[in-house]
């Protein structure tokens, strides 16, 4: 929470996709409640699809409404992470007792350190599910081992990560299925308690009700996701061999999932290199033979731990090994189907590899502890806990691991605040068309202006399937109705030569470039009035 408060005090403003999340979270208590998540980037190269569900919007709805200027986004995400850490502590204590819980929470602290301080209030869809997915793995482990009450946090955490980012679509259900299978395989040793399973089922139905309604009566997004995933529209998929290489780069090759690995494992360069034939995908990952051996050794160790645990009648280690093996296999299968786009294959498509790595590390510590490898288990636990405490304290200074585009755009926050203030002049001028036809890439400003309009109650419309899916179909422009005014952002050279009849609302000196926010009466696209 300290990191989020510091960011808000320094003038934090949600930019780019983060501002879209702010807008949609505000819609939760509006007339058009979101039924699905934000639009998927895969839509740019195929059918327009959204991430499966709106749980992230639902959770952020109250802080976004209560706190001004986007502060609710940062503090809301920080609150999510605090709740997740508390839930991990509760689950691990129910599963492992005090010593085991210390190991799990210390590893969680190491993952938090790896992510960096700025990621702890980052609402970008690939990043915000990372800690919740670690909770999902720990809770699934506990449920598989016979702690039936942990089925409830397992279902909620898996639902959250799957709804928030589509890359968990196979991984989340696979982990839950593995946990259910293991639990019922062990029901003779520990009878199944029905009440927590009923509660988990009801909770799962409630949090999936909005996507179900959409599937039955609205956009049929779940069907579109399935069609998109199986139609080949996304172009070249990563494939099995590269999937093994990618998984091994994070799970086997040092520095693994630690802070240096945040940047060096599956780097943001995407693996695209220039050749005589043009840019081609040739990532600097582990060679396939070494990667295959490493993944095989990792799976072998998990299976061996489970076998030995079975002989020792240790349900906890047996279940932990099963969940770990299921997560690794499902990760490779998920990776194999993910697309390679013009940017290659960047880490944001598979950030779940890092919490899987943290889970495997924590499980390894627990195996050593329960097998009695340390001569002094108490000292071993204290050592790991101390390392976790130091790592957690190290998140207090500002640390950018550049896990999201917004972290590259930090210098744009000051002009974005000015633009958000200027948007207030549009109040009372009717329906506003936000003209995005000439938006730059990257674009930190237009989305945050849209969030400011939503916060001020200014009705705005957009044109195009992709941006309509971003902001909600209720904001798609009806050509028959048009708009009362059109607002457009002129950046760089465009700001030096405004078309005639445009009223300037803000003229901002943003370092090397000039930014002008201008408005014109009527419905205007590409500089010419229409309608």
Give residue 388's pLDDT band: very low, low, confident or very high (50, 70, 90): confident
Does residue 504 contact residue 515 with C-beta atoms inside 8 Å?
no
Q: What is the mean pLDDT of residues 122-148?
A: 97
- What pLDDT sits at residue 324? 97
Of the chain, the percentage scoring pLDDT greater than 70 comes to 96
Mean pLDDT, rounded, of the chain = 90
Q: What is the mean pLDDT of residues 127-145?
A: 97
pLDDT tens figures, 423-475? 999 999 999 999 998 887 788 999 999 999 999 999 999 998 889 999 999 99
Residue 88 CB partners (closer than 8 Å, separation 6+): 104, 105, 108, 134, 135, 138
Residues 97 and 425: their CA atoms lie apart, in Å, by: 58
Quick count: other Cβ atoms within 10 Å of Cβ 424? 13
Q: What is the mean pLDDT of residues 49-53?
A: 92
Residue 339 CB partners (closer than 8 Å, separation 6+): 42, 45, 234, 235, 236, 237, 238, 349
Give residue 407's pLDDT band: very low, low, confident or very high (50, 70, 90): confident
CA distances from 176 to 25, 295, 351 (A): 27, 22, 19
- What pLDDT sits at residue 529? 47
Q: What is the mean pLDDT of residues 368-392?
A: 80
Does residue 56 contact residue 77 with C-beta atoms inside 8 Å?
no
Is 54's pLDDT higher than 90? yes
Give residue 530's pLDDT band: very low, low, confident or very high (50, 70, 90): very low
Q: Which of 248-252, 371-375, 391-395 has the highest mean pLDDT?
A: 248-252
187 burial class (0-12, 13-18, 19+ CB within 10 angstroms)?
A: exposed
The DSSP 8-state label assigned to residue 441 in this structure reads: S
pLDDT tens figures, 73-110? 999 999 999 999 999 999 999 999 988 999 999 999 99
Q: What is the mean pLDDT of residues 29-55?
A: 84
Does residue 337 contact residue 238 with C-beta atoms inside 8 Å?
yes
Residues 392 and 403: their CA atoms lie apart, in Å, by: 18
Q: What is the mean pLDDT of residues 247-260?
A: 94
Residues 75 and 122: their CA atoms lie apart, in Å, by: 10
Q: What is the mean pLDDT of residues 16-23?
A: 94
CA distances from 65 to 30, 68, 173, 455 (A): 11, 7, 32, 8
pLDDT tens figures, 461-474? 999 888 999 999 99
Domains of the chain with CATH codes = 2-49+59-215+241-406 (no CATH), 412-530 (3.40.120)
Bridge partners, 520 (sequence order): 486
Rounded to two decimals, the pTM is 0.94
- Where do the H-state alpha helices sit in 371-510? 377-393, 405-408, 413-422, 446-455, 465-471
Give residue 230's pLDDT band: very low, low, confident or very high (50, 70, 90): low
- What pLDDT sits at residue 195? 96
End-to-end alpha carbon distance in the chain: 50
Residues 469 and 491: their CA atoms lie apart, in Å, by: 25
Phi, psi of 465 (to 5 degrees): -65, -45
Does residue 356 contact residue 327 with C-beta atoms inside 8 Å?
yes
Does residue 73 contact residue 14 with C-beta atoms inside 8 Å?
yes
- What pLDDT sits at residue 375? 67
């Amino acid at each position: 929470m300290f990191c989020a408060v510091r960011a808000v005090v320094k003038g934090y403003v949600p930019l780019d996709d983060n501002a879209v999340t702010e807008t949609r979270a505000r819609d939760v208590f509006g007339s058009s409640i979101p039924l699905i998540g934000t639009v998927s980037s895969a839509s740019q190269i195929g059918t327009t699809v959204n991430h499966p569900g709106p749980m992230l919007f639902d959770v952020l709805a109250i802080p976004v409404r209560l706190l001004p200027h986007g502060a609710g986004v940062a503090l809301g995400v920080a609150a999510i992470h605090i709740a997740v850490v508390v839930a991990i502590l509760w689950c691990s204590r129910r599963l492992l007792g005090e010593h085991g819980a210390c190991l799990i929470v210390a590893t969680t602290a190491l993952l938090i350190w790896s992510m960096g301080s700025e990621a702890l209030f980052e609402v970008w869809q690939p990043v915000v599910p990372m800690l919740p997915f670690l909770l999902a793995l720990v809770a699934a482990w506990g449920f598989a081992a016979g702690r039936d009450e942990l089925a409830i946090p397992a279902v909620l955490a898996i639902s959250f990560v799957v709804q928030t980012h589509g890359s968990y679509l196979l991984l989340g259900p696979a982990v839950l299925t593995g946990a259910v299978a293991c639990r019922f395989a062990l029901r003779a040793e520990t009878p199944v308690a029905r009440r927590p399973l009923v509660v988990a089922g009801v909770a799962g139905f409630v949090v999936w009700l909005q996507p179900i309604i959409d599937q039955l009566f609205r956009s049929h997004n779940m069907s579109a996701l399935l069609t998109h995933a199986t139609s080949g529209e996304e172009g070249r998929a990563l494939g099995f061999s590269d999937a093994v290489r990618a998984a091994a780069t994070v799970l086997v090759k040092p520095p693994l999932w630690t802070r240096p690995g945040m940047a060096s494992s599956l780097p943001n360069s995407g693996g695209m290199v220039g050749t005589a034939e043009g840019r081609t995908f040739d990532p600097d990952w582990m060679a396939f033979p070494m990667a295959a051996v490493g993944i095989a050794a990792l799976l072998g160790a998990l299976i061996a731990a489970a076998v030995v645990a079975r002989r020792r009648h240790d349900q906890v280690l047996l279940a932990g090994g099963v969940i770990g093996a299921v997560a690794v296999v499902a990760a490779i299968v998920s990776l194999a189907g993910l697309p390679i786009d013009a940017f290659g294959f960047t880490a944001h498509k598979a950030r779940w590899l890092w919490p899987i790595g943290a889970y495997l590390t924590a499980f390894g510590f627990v195996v050593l502890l329960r097998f009695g490898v340390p001569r002094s288990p108490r000292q071993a636990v204290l050592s790991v806990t101390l390392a976790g405490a130091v790592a957690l304290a190290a998140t207090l200074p500002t640390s950018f691991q550049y896990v999201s585009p917004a972290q590259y755009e930090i210098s744009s926050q000051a002009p974005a605040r000015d633009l958000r203030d200027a948007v207030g002049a549009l109040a009372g001028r009717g329906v506003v068309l936000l003209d995005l036809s000439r938006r730059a890439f990257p674009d930190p400003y237009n989305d945050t202006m849209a969030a400011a309009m939503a916060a001020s109650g200014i009705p705005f419309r957009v044109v195009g399937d992709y941006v309509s899916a971003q902001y909600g179909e209720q904001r798609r422009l009806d050509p028959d109705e048009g708009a009362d005014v059109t607002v457009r952002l002129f950046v760089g050279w465009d700001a030096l030569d405004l078309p005639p009849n445009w009223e300037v609302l803000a003229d901002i000196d943003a370092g090397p470039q000039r930014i002008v926010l201008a408005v014109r009466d009527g419905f205007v696209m590409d500089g010419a009035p229409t309608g």
